[in-house]
Amino acid sequence: MKKADQETLKLVNRSVILELIRKNKEISRIDLAEQTKLSPTTVSAITSELITKKLVTELRVGESNGGRRPVMMGLNPQAAYALAIRLTTNGATYALVDLSCSIVCIKECIGKIDSEAAAERVLQEIISTIKDKYPEYVEKIVGVGVSTPGVIDYENGIILYSASLHLKNFNISETIKNLLGTDAIIFKDADALALGEQHFGIGEGYKDFAYILVENGVGMAYVNSQKLFRLPYGGMELGHIVVDINGALCRCGNRGCLGTVISELPVLKRLNELIEGGMQTEMQNISSLKFKDIVNYSNQEDPAALMVLKEQAELIGVACANVINLFNPELVIVGGPLTGCSWDILDLVKDSTARRALRPYNSKVKVEFSKLGYKSSLLGLANEVFEKMIFKPTALI
């Protein structure tokens, strides 16, 4: 092994100090020296450099402990920004996020994504809007984070296959590079949501948890020992686990996938069956409704909407139990439109889960709805951008 040279040691020390400032929100040079065991002179030199680079700023004068009152420092939120984009079949939600991981603006780009051309159009519209309406932020965007359903080549930023977006071998990283001139990191939709919950939401403090996304399909992410479980290609395709070999045809080409009984399309299909069978409802033009519309009707106690979502709760409990039996996590988070229900649907999911999960596992696991909603994805993506572009030693040169 080679001894670290002076420049390498400087980079390591700078990274440690920057991470402590980030973690503590505000901290003095004295406390930095005590926690890092570095000399006050070294700490002063590094913090001065970070202030010059505008990554760190002096916030206020702290309380005295008997000597000189310390100057408290913290991250400069305006030093850098991340553009976070969440792609769905109906377009995208995107946000500019500052270095403190506060959302500066959040917008939607409506437009069906069902081809490579459609995906390129949505990305172009997003970046054009950012350039036109927020030009003062553009030069400070250090990276772009994108979440998408599908199988992903993470290293090269390519969507290898997405049944819901009808994409194959789409180089999304290269597309963004050409449009904005910055690098992009790509995550599966459920992975990005799980990262947001881990750092900013209900997953904080848990070492092992699963995230199940019920939306246009069924996605899943798993955090093990506080690290996102991620393979070089693809991810956990919970929605494509076959539950009925004679079931309905799935978009992937198989029959009876979990996504054919849980998610938006099965809900719409079941609603049509109930209405044709004479069930009372205030809903009209069922084919034009979205999952969140049905949730809203259920909150108004629409009989058909309530029945179909109660059936979904039972089936989601089955999915949760299978995940618990397989991974034995401390927590299962369920995300998607169903979290907007104002009635006791979560209790139904928990009851269904408890009846099916192995008793030793079920006794300690918690099942909860996401509290951050889709903002979790945007925050998770932005945090990963900053981790890669700012808070790694090589990114601070």
DSSP letters, 46-75, are HHHHHHHTTSEEEEEE---SSSSPPEEEEE
Sheet containing 151-153, strands listed edge to edge, beginning at the edge strand earlier in sequence: 151-153, 158-162, 167-171
Give CA–CA dist 80/100, Å, rounded: 9
Q: Are 214 and 335 in contact (CB under 8 A)?
A: yes
Tell me the percentage of the chain whose pLDDT exceeds 70. Answer: 97
pLDDT value, residue 155: 87
Q: Any idea which of 83-97, 224-238, 241-255 has the lowest mean pLDDT? A: 224-238
Domains identified in the chain and CATH numbers? 6-75 (1.10.10.10), 79-194+376-396 (3.30.420.40), 203-371 (3.30.420.40)
- Mapped onto helix, strand or coil, the DSSP state of residue 153 is strand
Q: For the residues 80-105, what does the mean pLDDT come to?
A: 95
Pairwise CA distance, residues 354 & 369, whole Å = 16
> From CA 333, how far away is CA 197, in angstroms rounded?
9
Identify which has the larger pLDDT, 162 or 237: 162
What is the residue-averaged pLDDT of the chain?
91
- The C-alpha atoms of residue 293 and residue 304 are separated, in whole angstroms, by 13
What is the mean predicted confidence (pLDDT) over 234-257? 87
CA distance 74 to 57: 6
DSSP structural state of residue 230:
-
Please state whether beta strands 184-188 and 141-148 pair in parallel, antiparallel, or not at all (unpaired). parallel
Q: Helix crossing, 172-180 with 116-133: angle to 10°? A: 30
> Can you state the angle between helices 303-327 and 345-354, rounded to 10 degrees?
40
State the pLDDT confidence band at 8, using cuts at 50, 70 and 90.
confident
Given a cut of 90, whether residue 211 has pLDDT beyond it is yes
Question: Above 60 in pLDDT, residue 372?
Answer: yes
DSSP line for 79-147: G-EEEEEEEETTEEEEEEEETTS-EEEEEEEE----SHHHHHHHHHHHHHHHHHH-HHHHTTEEEEEEE
User: What amino acid is encoded at 106 in this protein?
Assistant: I
Sheet-wide strand order for 91-98:
103-110, 91-98, 81-88, 141-148, 184-188
CA–CA gap between residue 88 and residue 148 (Å, rounded): 7
DSSP per position, 276-344: HTT-------GGG--HHHHHHHHHTT-HHHHHHHHHHHHHHHHHHHHHHHHH--SEEEEESGGGG--SS
Q: What pLDDT does residue 24 have?
A: 87
Residue 220, SS3 per DSSP: strand
Chain segment 14-67, per-residue pLDDT in tens:
889 998 998 888 899 999 999 999 999 999 999 999 999 899 999 988 787 767
Q: Report residue 395's pLDDT band, with 50, 70 and 90 as the boundaries.
A: very low
Tell me which long-range contacts 62-70 makes (C-beta under 8 A, separation of at least 24).
Answer: 62/28, 70/28, 70/29, 70/30, 70/31
In 3D space, the residue among 340, 271, 277 whose CA is nearest the CA of residue 305 turns out to be: 271
Q: Fill in the amino acid letter for 335.
A: G
Answer whether residue 389 shows pLDDT above 60.
Answer: yes
Residues 6+ apart with CB under 8 A from 76: 54, 55, 56, 57, 99
Confidence of residue 343 (pLDDT cuts 50, 70, 90): very high
Q: pLDDT tens digits, residue range 316-340?
A: 999 999 999 999 999 999 999 999 9
Which residue type sits at 320? C
Six-digit token string for 200: 């900013």
CB 305 within 8 A of CB 298: yes
**pLDDT-derived band of residue 2, with 50, 70 and 90 as boundaries?**
very low
Q: Model confidence at 164, in pLDDT bands (50, 70, 90)?
A: confident
Residue 271 contacts residue 280 (beta carbons within 8 Å): no
Backbone angles phi, psi at 341, to 5 degrees: -70, 135
